[in-house]
Structure 1
Amino acid sequence: MKVKNEEALELNPSLGNSCSLIKRDFEKFILGEDHPCIMAKTVFGMDQVVMSSYPELGTEKAARQILQDLENYIETYDFETNDFKTFLAVFPDSPDFSELEFEKKLWQQLKLVHKVDDCDWDPEVSADPESEHFSFSICGKAFYVVGMHPNSSREARKSPYPAMAFNLHWQFEKLREMGSFETVRDKIRERDKALQGDINPMLQDFGANSEARQYSGRKVGEEWKCPFLSSN
């Protein structure tokens, strides 16, 4: 089933969980509860989420499908407007991951997507996950990746199914251009603190530290090393 533009949530019904259930559960998670990310609320509220489901997280089959779907997502993205759109990859039939297991699977999946992607790294960002200017590149475009799963210690990441949200790095630069980045950032952090009692300790502005540390949602120490190398 393909969902039309007026309902931009796009789901693959071939897996065990039904399209309508996945869509409803994610809408409840973002819109029906006190979710702190106002950007997520905006794109869900405006039906600006392209959502697809895949086999178990961390597989090459899923990597090829994600790459193809992100190619289509980029091709249809309107870079001339101020409207934002998120790509959400959902893995509804994955097992019940711990935070560490999810982190390993997330990076395994990203490594496999990179393996089948024949595009050069986006020159606007670094391919070195240790760099403060790192951002993950797919199809020649930089993305900020938000990992979510039911066992996350952060309420904002405790999604109904394991999932990865792909947000174009361009969107954050657009917010800066519009003069809205700091306002949006501060509002999200304020809401996150109200929800959980503290701000996500991993969140930092782009250029302050590698954003790779933020992708899985797990709190990591200074000794943490990203398992991804673009040369792999």
Structure 2
Amino acid sequence: MLDVASAPRPVEQFRDFVEKSDFPCVGAKSALKRDQTRFWVGRDFLSGEDDEDLLRELYDFIDWYGEETPMFATFVATFDGPLGLSETAFETALWARLDALHRLDARSYQWDSRVSRDPESSAFAFSLKQEACFVIGLHDGASRAARRFERPTLVFNLHDQFRKLREDGRYEALQAAIRKRDTALDGAPNPMLADFGDSSEARQYSGRRVGGAWRCPFQPSGRKDAA
């Protein structure tokens, strides 16, 4: 895993971004404070040149999580560029990267059977190494302040953490706190937020506001499960 010393600029930029007092995601703040954020830095967000390396690092993160089972652990993949992408262009690139990761992953692993592989399903979640994860896209052209980061970035949070928070009875309170802080930061609630099971979480990944007619450009292929 990447440490601060080996890539100080992008990692420190992300740390500064999350540690701002008004940044809404208290889970991300906790992950940084507990040293449970894992970083990876790539070159071109529009290119697949680093996909295999990124996937290896994601696998290491998933293995580490499985061994340690820490709460508020997250994986941050940030890229050098390009900067200045529109929300539509970033969304297209995000799904291109996720599609490439999926096709590599499908050579060895099935989809996590606890979630749906259909991006139109309300039970959908992205899957790597048979572990469901929620993906958060950040970039400098995002309309929401909480998504407006200097570099194209993908944040991966494992669904297993959400399940544990629900079991502990902490999920709803944490979710409410994050949404309240996000509303205060932007002056209005995020219209794309939805609870798991209400609508496909794929609509939330890029951060772009989309309407009811939006269709996810991602279609899983490769090895299939029963979901």
What is the TM-score normalised by the length of structure 1? Answer: 0.90
Residue 37 in 1 paired to residue 37 in 2?
A: no
Show the counterpart of 1:196.
186
Show the counterpart of 1:153.
143
Q: Which amino acid aligns with 1:89?
A: A
Q: CA deviation at 1:139?
A: 1.3
SS in 2 for 1:23: helix
- Kindly report the root-mean-square deviation, in angstroms, between the aligned alpha carbons of the 2 structures: 1.7
- Count of residues in correspondence between the two structures: 220
* 8 Å CA contact retained: 1:145, 1:164: yes
Q: CA deviation at 1:2?
A: 4.7
Aligned with residue 92 of structure 2, among 97, 100, 104: 104
Structure 1: runs of 5 or more not aligned:
4-8, 14-18
Q: Which amino acid aligns with 1:140?
A: Q
Show the counterpart of 2:225.
none
Structure 2: runs of 5 or more not aligned:
223-227
What is the TM-score normalised by the length of structure 2? Answer: 0.92
Q: CA deviation at 1:94?
A: 2.2
* 8 Å CA contact retained: 1:59, 1:112: no
Q: CA deviation at 1:81?
A: 4.3
Q: CA deviation at 1:83?
A: 2.3
Residue 174 in 1 paired to residue 164 in 2?
A: yes
Q: Mean Cα displacement is larger for which, 84-93 or 54-63? A: 54-63
After superposition, the C-alpha distances for 1:151-207 in whole angstroms (9 at most, x for unaligned) are: 100000011211000000111111101100100010011111111111111010000
Q: Which segments of structure 1 move beyond 6 Å, counting only runs of 4 or more?
A: none
* 8 Å CA contact retained: 2:102, 2:220: yes
Tell me the percent identity.
42
Matches within 5 A, 1:1-232: 2-3=2-3, 19-78=7-66, 81-117=69-105, 118=107, 119-231=109-221
Q: CA deviation at 1:93?
A: 2.9
SS in 2 for 1:167: strand
* 8 Å CA contact retained: 1:60, 1:113: no
CA distance, structure 2, for counterparts of residue 224 and residue 104 of structure 1: 13
Alpha-carbon distance change, 55 to 29 in structure 1, aligned in 2, over 3 angstroms: same
